[in-house]
Amino acid sequence: MDLADLKKKESRLMWLLMVAIAGLMVIGIAFVYSASEANEALASLPFYRQRYFMQLVWYVLGVASAFVVCLVTYHTIVRWSYLIYWVMIGLLFFVLIFGVKRYGGTRWLDFGFFQFQPSEFAKIAFIIAFANYLSRPIEELKKTKVLCKALGMAFLPFILILKEPDLGSAIVFMPVCLAMMYIAEVPTRFLRNLIILTVAVSGLFFVDILFAPPNWQIKLHDYQRRRLLVFFGKDYAPADATPAERKRLQLQQLNDSYNIRQALISVGSGGIFGKGWRQGTQTALGYLPRAVAHNDFIFSVIAEESGFVGGIIVVALYGVILFSGITIASRAGDQLGKLIAVGIVVLIFSHVFINIGMNIRVVPVTGIPLPLVSYGGSSVICFLVAAGLLQNIYQNRRT
């Protein structure tokens, strides 16, 4: 294969990446429209206030942002990475004090025409700052002080986002951190001990939630504890509960598991080819709650209306994006580009795995968006900026 053929093949790979992103945006518009139009109150609003129109606006802004990101090399962007990181940390503090409370969490800053969610952009800020920090000689990465600072960079946004509380967004920092440290060739012994510690703490956390007496349990928001109990099928009522108390708690548990039960019904009822676009009875009749159908449970809407085939198409498009990201990482011109690309790939994979997983009850419900498909301005713009960074690394791979 000569150089011209190689360049042609590489160019086609990036076109596949862009086509996959465009495909997901088309799917996002179509099914956000379907989920929103089933709500009579929303359907009666002017078109410029409809969710599908706003989603289109976010796509335009996101694509424009991605284009701007590609105008300079990623090295120029990384020069400002620590400043961007600390600005995002400041905004995470700010949102805890002045943020808007919705769905049990304080995660948004309200600007009237737009609600900004700092935790989404904090993920990208962390990736570029962390890649900058880890892009140093391997000898330095063997020093305990350097590694502790690296963990501190990941731990700070994790704690602040967990405090909002937004468990789903906080969790994705862990796999991103571990993957980037592995690619940076942090000593295997350190990573192994870190993984063992993480697994042990997680195990103790779940044992505490499920089996410890109430006075000994870790302090969580009540809705977070109930979500975990629902996922593990743990009875709300203690062994010594009175009949009246047990009945009340069983009814509450039935209500708390409503969303996930309806999501499973939606996915299963779609069959092979689905019921047809905008023909999903779960969505149209409001069994799949309309407050979450267009964001957290958008995959259930897709599966019901386009069936197993539609679900596979969505997963395949994400597969193309992830494969392209891995290829970009392997061909990056330096360690910095490789680390950024790996961080973005793991971030996208974590979002896809958790969101689809909670729709089919593989993981607990955490309220995390499906990239480029779920409704939401901050999330859409964040992931399109991430795609712009991947393109930036690709087009500067020979630099």
Does residue 303 surpass a pLDDT of 90? yes
Which band of pLDDT confidence, cut at 50, 70 and 90, is reported for residue 1? very low
Summary mean pLDDT of the chain: 87
Nearest CA to 123 among 329, 366, 380, 343?
Answer: 343
What is the token pair recorded at 166? 């937004």
Does residue 327 surpass a pLDDT of 90? yes
Does residue 90 surpass a pLDDT of 80? yes
Length of the chain measured in residues: 399
Which band of pLDDT confidence, cut at 50, 70 and 90, is reported for residue 75? very high
**358 Cβ neighbours under 8 A, 6+ residues apart:** 260, 263, 296, 364, 365, 366, 368
What is the token pair recorded at 284? 């149209």
As a whole number, mean pLDDT of residues 257-277 equals 90
In the chain the first and final C-alpha atoms are separated, in Å, by 22
| 3-class DSSP assignment, residue 107 | strand
Q: What burial class does residue 53 get, using C-beta atoms within 10 Å of its C-beta: 0-12 exposed, 13-18 middle, 19+ buried?
A: middle
Nearest CA to 355 among 20, 28, 15?
Answer: 28
* pLDDT for position 12: 43
CB count, 10 Å around CB of 181? Answer: 22
Which band of pLDDT confidence, cut at 50, 70 and 90, is reported for residue 217? low
Order of strands, sheet of 105-110, starting from the edge strand that comes earlier in the sequence: 100-102, 105-110, 115-116
Does residue 206 surpass a pLDDT of 70? yes
As a whole number, mean pLDDT of residues 322-346 equals 95
Q: Return the sign of the alpha-carbon dihedral for residues 387, 391, 394, 398.
A: negative
Q: Alpha-carbon distance 299 to 350, whole Å?
A: 15
At 102, which helix (H) or strand (E)?
strand 100-102
Which band of pLDDT confidence, cut at 50, 70 and 90, is reported for residue 13? low
